[in-house]
Amino acid sequence: MADQQELDDFFAHAKAALDLPADTYEDAYQLGGAKFADKLAALVKTGKKTATSSGFELYTIEQDPLPSAGVYNIILNRADKPVALTFTDNVFVTPFMKVTADIAKREGEDDQSLASWREVHQAFFSREYQANGIQFDPESSMVVVEEFHTVYPVVQTR
């Protein structure tokens, strides 16, 4: 579990460096679970990953609210250390099979193709759903897509 003071300090540094208007961040979390957290956090930190997806049905089971647009979030590495601060631009729910090539590319993983995205995410969602006692069905399951941009550290663009 991430150290709350460390998270607050990270956000305070980002807020001071960027003169952010927000008083706080919404959440701090790992992407892809511990196995992929370092790789995905690094993609976010460099600005290569600007979208992520999660299983819609899992929010109902875990009774978690859906992510919100217009908020800051801290992305953590495998050791639950803060790596990047993101701002969520948009959140929407769509069928798994309707995820577009653009979203697959924005997720920044593997070769960034839609085929690769479907393969990797079907396997990931299947494991996550099974762990929660339900079955993932690519033909009927829904995904929550979050589109964001990294605000801290500042991403160097060319």
Secondary structure (H, E, C), the chain: CCCHHHHHHHHHHHHHHHCCCCCCCCEEEECCHHHHHHHHHHHHHCCCCCEEEEEHHHHHHHCCCCCCCCCEEEEECCCCCEEEEEEEEEEEEEEHHHCCHHHHHHHCCCCCCHHHHHHHHHHHHHHHHHHCCCCCCCCCCEEEEEEEEEEECCCCCC
The structure's pTM equals: 0.91
Percent of the chain with pLDDT over 70: 97
Tokens of 119: 């393969």
Tokens of 7: 């998270």
Q: Of 72, 76, 68, 120, whose CA–CA distance to 99 is shortest?
A: 120
pLDDT at 42: 96
Domain count for the chain, please give it: 1
92 within a domain of the structure (yes/no):
yes
pLDDT tens for 41-67 read: 999 999 999 999 999 999 988 889 999
* Any domain includes 40: yes
So what's the pLDDT on residue 35?
A: 85
Q: In CATH, what number is assigned to the domain containing residue 82?
A: 3.10.400.10
Q: 97 in a domain, yes or no? A: yes
Residue 155 forms part of a structural domain: no
Residue-wise pLDDT for 80-129, tens only, equals 999 999 999 999 999 999 999 999 999 999 899 999 999 999 999 999 99
> Domain for residue 157, yes or no?
no
| Domain coverage including residue 44 | 4-149
pLDDT for res 41: 96
Q: Provide the pLDDT confidence category of residue 156 given band limits of 50, 70 and 90.
A: low
Residue 73 lies in a domain: yes
Q: Residue 115 domain-assigned? A: yes
